[in-house]
Structure 1
């Protein structure tokens, strides 16, 4: 559980590599929302993980984050910080079974136990290969590589501290990469032996891999590119069978993406716009039954990324500025959403979409945040805080906002 106050202890190596800057306040009450905000990290350039990467240890007590010096871990109860990996690396995910963080460095994939510091090289990666996800029991890792002599530039891989901002030419690069039709392989790595095997090949741009948080044999991935030109969301079994498209477009310029799993592994959630930039939904697909639930949002409430609590009762979003697809005039907020289904007084057909709405509450005024840096919201394991990264004070730091409103006399 996060505390509103507390000291952070920073590794000497991190301090030595961090420029001296005036730090933002440790904690304050947002005057526009009444919610308490806490700065979790001291290092300029430090950041919580991408919205769909699990950044919390299996015991729910610690949060992994990146710094310019490597990877650190924050104790959510005491706010103590410990550096666990030194040097420039690419974080994959924190394990759901163990206390390990997985990452790649120098053409290989590694794991480090955040408690003991024990580090292991799992496997060398194929040429131009990357790893994106680890399965629920930590026996398999999944990634992609371009076959032949092609070069894969992937602007959507989770960024590192040196490149947290989105590239200014991302749209143009997405178009060029989609048109290239490079042959790609989706492969698995056995975490015990380091052996690799390919389970899917395509000339579609394969990206955004994410294993189910509960089913070790189920992998979600996407066809990447401009959303209005692709059938984005897919699942596949680890034996290469049951390739399944999750959403089928029914309208020109309908877009869907930024997909993520519910923590229980039962639902795939994703941003749905029918059509692009006009009508906004958070859509859910139940993997076992195929049932669909769509929650409607207002334009200003649309968010670059959404997330959900472990019990599925609350959602959060990181908003967006007028330059985003929603072109929201007042969308620069961190939001809390309470889902509300619309009562069905008509035909009860399981093939129909179950509609609902998300009732929004503003948590953080992000008017000083530059949205080239995506905030990437997530709930803490105790569901009491929403964690996000922000440059509202200049350099990037990681913050958390309390879900419950502060007492009226709080300072």
Structure 2
């Protein structure tokens, strides 16, 4: 099995055939360990939410987009009814590789129109195209066709006129992806790596650390590019930069359509990770410069106002933990401290920054937390610095006061939960495989009052009942 086929096979492991025979999890219960109500939001075994930093909500905030085996679906945020928006094409029974390769791949919910943007590959030409579908009418519009060999795009800008992606740029080795084709720069192509992971594949490989070391060391030439989605531009490609670094995690600003954030991927202690660049290729800027050996920063994401970039910051890897923010308008930096058990793989926040959330992590993660398998709610508090030496470039300190929301000890963190708030802040939404196949869940941010005694259940015990013998977790150190 080649590397591409292996990645496709891995992505399908969210829905093992044996999972279909298992009992359906309850629709709701109150977590005995936290007092917060958990709600199963999706009915499709193998369904999953978006990657934590990809927008999942329509601009009217009425619909959340998610992925399911039958295609891209939407959930009404009031009624919680779901419906299919873009179906996957039919594939032979049991052919998960064909389903993944030829299926629809959600990118992001539109910031301007009530649309979902996605790509789909033509089985005959092996070329991917970008489409958008109206969430309420299901009307589909083809926007652009990507060059042969381009694996897809990772993000759409705020005014929905550009998509951004990366493409290998070197000796050709993969006939199935157009070995005789050339890149927009005129050089032969190689088989594409998964540079800009789209929102449907949240599963990490068993050998993630080894893969990241190998990919970083390969120094594979690539290009960072945008493709125009404007009618009449004929899928115009603009190359923003050439690189032999591993460029990944592309994410346009939710506010400025000309501003793109990206990362230098690899083991975090070996890269200066977080960058932003304008869509004319100028102002390529490093967001966080390390000052200590083994200092790491990553899993960056935009604040909902588009003014601040937030990221996991550890001054010494695995020893001290902060969620840091960088305000683009004034250069102000903020750092909220948390302890080892509160650290999370991913974080998220509300529009007004009054609440933060994290998805926890098992003992194999960088924090090596002995008790870290929780969905967390964080109440931020800034520390009074009056009378202290303070400079404009200092981090302004704060702390998180944590509140457990869901006991995730029966969840296998090989699948990352990828938390986000509902628009009204009443729920933290996440994906979990605690019952076998993955589903999208929500947990209420408020403690449940006046519950029925029968509703109070231990989440891990419920998971063990429906999915006996939690699969062994894997080491996913960065």
Q: TM-score, normalised by structure 1?
A: 0.93
- Counterpart among 355, 365, 372 of residue 314 in structure 1: 355
User: Equivalent residue for 2:134?
Assistant: 113
Q: CA deviation at 1:197?
A: 1.1
Give the secondary structure class of the aligned counterpart of 2:409: coil
Per-residue deviation, residues 360-385 of structure 1 (Å, max 9, x unmatched): 11001101100000000001111111
Per-residue deviation, residues 7-62 of structure 1 (Å, max 9, x unmatched): xxxxxxxxxxx945421000111111111110000110000100011011111011
User: Equivalent residue for 1:10?
Assistant: none
* More displaced 10-residue stretch of structure 1: 190-199 or 150-159: 150-159
Aligned length: 392
Counterpart check, 1:104 vs 2:119 = yes
Over the residues paired in the alignment, what is the CA RMSD in angstroms? Answer: 1.4
CA–CA distance in 1 between the matches of 2:83 and 2:322?
39
5 Å-filtered alignment, 1:119-268, equals 119-129=140-150, 130-148=152-170, 149=172, 150-154=190-194, 157-158=197-198, 160=200, 164-192=202-230, 193=233, 194-268=235-309
User: Equivalent residue for 2:80?
Assistant: 79
Counterpart check, 1:89 vs 2:89 = no
- Counterpart among 387, 392, 398 of residue 350 in structure 1: 392
Give the secondary structure class of the aligned counterpart of 1:404: coil
Whether the 8 Å CA contact 2:157–2:163 is kept in 1: the answer is: yes
5 Å-filtered alignment, 1:29-108, equals 29-87=30-88, 88-106=103-121, 107-108=128-129
User: Equivalent residue for 1:407?
Assistant: 449
User: Equivalent residue for 1:294?
Assistant: 335
Q: CA deviation at 1:159?
A: 5.7
* CA separation of 1:386 and 1:70: change in aligned 2, threshold 3 A: same
Larger radius of gyration: 2
* CA separation of 1:127 and 1:206: change in aligned 2, threshold 3 A: farther
Q: TM-score, normalised by structure 2?
A: 0.80
User: Which structure: greater helix fraction?
Assistant: 2
Give the secondary structure class of the aligned counterpart of 2:364: coil
CA–CA distance in 2 between the matches of 1:127 and 1:200?
19
User: Equivalent residue for 1:280?
Assistant: 321
Q: CA deviation at 1:313?
A: 1.4
CA–CA distance in 2 between the matches of 1:159 and 1:55?
9
| Gaps in structure 2 of 5+ consecutive residues | 1-18, 89-102, 122-127, 173-189, 456-478
User: Which structure: greater strand fraction?
Assistant: 1
| Gaps in structure 1 of 5+ consecutive residues | 1-17
Q: CA deviation at 1:164?
A: 4.1
CA–CA distance in 1 between the matches of 2:451 and 2:38?
15
CA–CA distance in 2 between the matches of 1:155 and 1:214?
24
User: Equivalent residue for 2:346?
Assistant: 305
